[in-house]
Each structure stands twice: as C-alpha cells, then as structure tokens.
Structure 1
C-alpha cells in the first residue's frame, strides 16, 4: 500500500489530478468558510496581543496562502496555526512552515489535518523536535504505515498514547514507531498496539527490568548513564536467548515481570525473534523522498493561475 503511494508521488499525472482535487477543495471550502474565518482568527489574535496590526495582517495572509498551497480547508488551517503556536510558542514563518509540511502530508496520505497537527505537535514536544526535524518526524510516520498494520488516521490518533513514554525512556521517534509497528502485528487493533507500546517503554525503565537483563549480561545504560537504544537492547536480548533453554527464558521473563507490553515483547523475542528484528531492519531501509511533496503546491499554483486567466 505504501509502496504504491510513494510511486505515485513521482507521477506527473497523479500530481496533476491531486492538484485539481486540491484546487477544487480550496475553492469550494474557501467560499463556505470565508464568513467564519475572521471569527476563528480572533483566537490567534488573543495569542499575539503583543504583535502589531501589520504583523497580524501578514499572518492572516499567510494562513490563507498555506490553506491554498496545501488544498486544506481554510478553517482547519486556521485552527492548525492556532494549535501549533499554542503548543510550541512559535510564530510567523515557523508556524507557516510546519503547517505547510503537515498539510501536504495530510493531502498526500489522506490523513485528517486536525489529527495530523495534533499528532505532530505532541510528538514535537515529547521528542524535543524543532522545525528542522519535522520532515524526519513525518517520514518516521510514513515508514510506520508501510510496516505496521495501521492507517495514517489511526496512527495520528494513537501515537500520542506512547510518545511520552518512549521519550521518558530516552528513545526517539524512530524507535518508538518501530516498536509500535511490531505491536500492530500482535494486537487486535491500533489502539491496543499503542497501549502495549506505551507499557513496554514504561516497563523498560523499571528496576526489575534493569536487574533481570543484567542477570543475563545485558546493560541497559551506556557509560554516560543514558538509556541505550531499545532496538539495540532487544538485539542483545535475542542473542542471549539463543543460548538459553526455553525454561531459562521463561524464568528470565518471569523474574523481569513488568506490564503486559514488556512481557509480550520478550515473548515475541522468544517465539519469533527473526520477525521482530526483521521489522527493525526493514524500517531502517525504507526510503522516502519527502522533497517530492513540494511538487504538489506548484501544481496547484499553476492550476489556480490558469483558472484566473480563464475566469
């Protein structure tokens, strides 16, 4: 599914069709939303009482431009600006850049903009991601859709469930999404997978886990006292499990204890370590050229200019 989506990004006809759809969406949505735009913009004004009239007028124009470029509903785009500034404290071009990236992501993937924005800002805060890291964050999510049994909308809704726990365990967004991808193959749905992912990260920081893994020769912290990457730890656990009997593995898992997510993860290493580690490797090998999305706004802009000339 993801592979087909990626291949269409380089297809000029697909981009043209996408541009037509986006332009149609913009024109129809803008007509219906114009009356409510100023009302929605009042909330943004309340965030920027220290800004001049000139700055706010420019900001208003920026919102309209981003809505047009990304083919998103004007009101959704206005709310996106508000949510991003509220969550990050950013203003102006930084907010516009983030909204544009997330808007293009939503347009191409079919994700809902409000969900995508909510997911992005919470992940930014949880993982300490700045404006420069947005592409990597969105790419990590795109990789997850290819490997995990989930959809863009589902990931947007549930990622916030485990992002905080992952960051608390010293893990980045790639590691967090890798773990979630693994659990989507075990759990009945994405919500359950997210809950398991969260509890796995929480379990990894518990004293019983540190002690239990140290008992089989695995250190969870590096020489500087920082938590190692969890995928590296799990690879070490897999290596140790290969030299142990089934009884010894069960005893180790029992000693470690911990929440359901952690236990399921260790059991997965016992029963299908190759499958788990293969997911990690496939994730790292996925190539996603985010710059291709920049073609979409250009197509929309060209279509809009043609429409103006013929209108």
Structure 2
C-alpha cells in the first residue's frame, strides 16, 4: 500500500492555500485596475493633475495598523504551532501532555481564525490604498506609497517562503512574487532586492537539475537532501510499505518533463534515480 505523506495534515495547511488563492485573486484584480489606470494616466501626461483630496496619511495609518495586527496574529499562530509540533514529535504522551495537546489543538483553531481575519484585513487595506495612490500622479510620489509597496513585498516574501518551505510549491511562489514585482514596475519603481533574489531562488528550485542531483549521496538525511534539492512538492511525497519496510519517496520534476526519484528508509537516503522510468 502507498499513501501521500502528511503535509496536508500540517496545522492550517488547507486554510493556508485557501487564503492564498483568495488573496491572489484580489491582488490580480487590483493589478489589472492599476495597470490599466496607470497606463491611462501616463498617456495623458499633458493634463494637469488634480489636487489630491485623499487623506494619504490617515489611510496609510490604517494600513500600518492592519499590518501590526497581522504580525501579532502570525507570532501567536507560530507559537501555538511550535508547541503542538513539539508534542507531536513525542512517541508517548503523559496524561498532562495529552491534555495540553488537546488544549493546543483547540487554541490552534482560534488563533488560525484570528490570523485569517487579520490577513484578509491587511490585504484589503493594502490593495485599496495602492489602487488609489498608484493611480494619482501626485500621490504616487508620496513616501507613503513606496512604504505601502514595501509592506506588500514583505508579505509576499513571507507567503512565498511558506509555499517553498512547507509545500515545495515553487510555481505558486513565483506567481506571488511576480505579482508583487508588478506593483513596482507598473509605476517605474525598482522592486526590493530580496524579492527579486527570492524569485530567482524559486525559479532555480522549481525543477531539479542534474548538477544538484549529482551532489546527493546515499546515507544523507532528509534535511541534508532538502538543503540541495529544496522541499519536494507535497503531492509528490509518498510512503510505501515494501516487504514490511517503510519507504518514503520524493519525486522531483525535471525541466525536460521527466521525473527524478529519491527514496528514504528510516530517514536516510538509500536509493536515487535520475529517471524513475529507467
């Protein structure tokens, strides 16, 4: 028998993907509006810009407040997840630890809900703010505009890193980072270097290369392998029972369309194939 490994059982994993999809669709709609309106504004450069009536300082204060709430919620969520993960590693729990685990599982649902709401509020505030300021010739040059773009880039980096580290989904990480980059390029601003560097890293690890594959050695731990290959895509991690032995397989897509396979037993790499079909 075989089954997919339990990445989808990670606390908040499915909610994470749902949240990401909703945010990307909202940002995508915003980007379409921004690109169209900014293009129109730049094409009508001879017209004198109207005096802004938008309270940019007041509205940006709301954006910053939403980001503070999101940061606090993320910190609390990480604390609960870490405590729960430590208990889940233990082979056997005492009655006190079992009670604590039950309590943490209940807390996780609560803090996840707080985080989801904070994330939605943060992205909504930010998208609304950017839609206004990026389409106003005067407001576009305000310092709050660049600060808001930097806030968006920071959150894009956090979520992209989550996609890579927790799910091995480099394609979606690239999409998220390119969306963030688009905000900057739409108004001729340079994107932050960390955003560009992370995008290049995601592209480099989206497919396994022969060079990285050849660095792998039998006996390596999963963490040692992951440092070379990156996190495998969650749907390509499987556990198999072979003659009473528990074998974990990681499959990696190659750019030529073929698939490489890595096989672990008791947490150590014991076999590897550049082409699983051979």
Q: TM-score range by the shorter chain?
A: under 0.3
Q: Choose between structure 1 and 2: higher helix proportion.
A: 1
Q: How does the TM-score come out when normalised to structure 2?
A: 0.20
Select the structure that is richer in strand. 2
Q: Normalized against structure 1, the TM-score is what?
A: 0.19
